[in-house]
Amino acid sequence: MTQTVNNLRVRRTQKLLREALIELIDEHGFEAITVGEITGRAMVSRASFYRNYKDKYDLVEQIFEEAIQALKDFVSMPGAEHPTIWVKFFEHVAEYEHLYRALLGRNGSPWFVRRMRTALMVMMREFEQLFNGNPQVYQPVFHSTAAGVVPPPVSEVLPPSAAEVLPTPVSEVPPPSVSVRKTSQQQPKHPGILASDPYVEDLVASMLVETITWWLEQEKPCGTRQIADRCSCLIGAVFRETSTWKETTC
């Protein structure tokens, strides 16, 4: 019982501090506010603040890290629908829209922009590792099911070991006059340059941050699913293009 009460007290304290942080960012900007102002607005002692966070930067990071961890947990769940990952991400952004609008806007924090880009880059690397670096499996995380967008064949999404046991679709069976060997040789080779390329991972992370910034500055002109679909389509297009590149060092 005591443990439950303590957990509730901690959660309440964190909630008050987060709400105070968002209010103060709206009023003064992130860089100008102090821990004392946050605790004063939340009516929480400084000792309670430092039991939960190192400083105001740690407070912001923990909010964002919770969203990133939720995405990681979701993508590793059996049967998870990949496009839904980004819907969940934008739902988190919408929940904390005042925080993100203040931190990413014209008077925002360069520190947080860099931190967010770095976190998204790390997340993409972890996604790639989760799918063993296989672009056919990795790319659908950034593939949209929006109207007019045709999902890839199942054989292109599953790992090779699983795809081998699937029957070949009629549309993929070569005509009698064309041998299977010749058909396979005509297929372009894809080295699979994805998040492992520093240029590509930085580009994609920047696209995500800019998409969030635009969406919030425009007062969310479309819903979370629509913006997630558009974002995943654009990122998917980048990955499809870069997967055809030869491996070279910039």
Q: Where are the domains of the chain?
A: 79-250
Comparing CA positions, the residue from 126, 14, 19, 22 lying closest to residue 75 is: 126
d(CA 154, CA 163): 8
Answer yes or no: is pLDDT of 176 > 80. Answer: no
- Give me the pLDDT at residue 12, please: 94
Q: Give the CA radius of gyration of the chain.
A: 22
- Give me the pLDDT at residue 96, please: 85
Comparing CA positions, the residue from 60, 55, 226 lying closest to residue 148 is: 226
Comparing CA positions, the residue from 124, 121, 144, 145 lying closest to residue 133 is: 124
Q: What are phi and psi of 110, to 5 degrees?
A: -60, -35
pLDDT tier for residue 47 given thresholds of 50, 70 and 90: very high
- % of the chain exceeding 70 in pLDDT: 64
Average pLDDT over residues 141-149: 46
Answer yes or no: is pLDDT of 233 > 70. Answer: yes
Answer yes or no: is pLDDT of 188 > 70. Answer: no
pTM: 0.66
d(CA 199, CA 63): 27
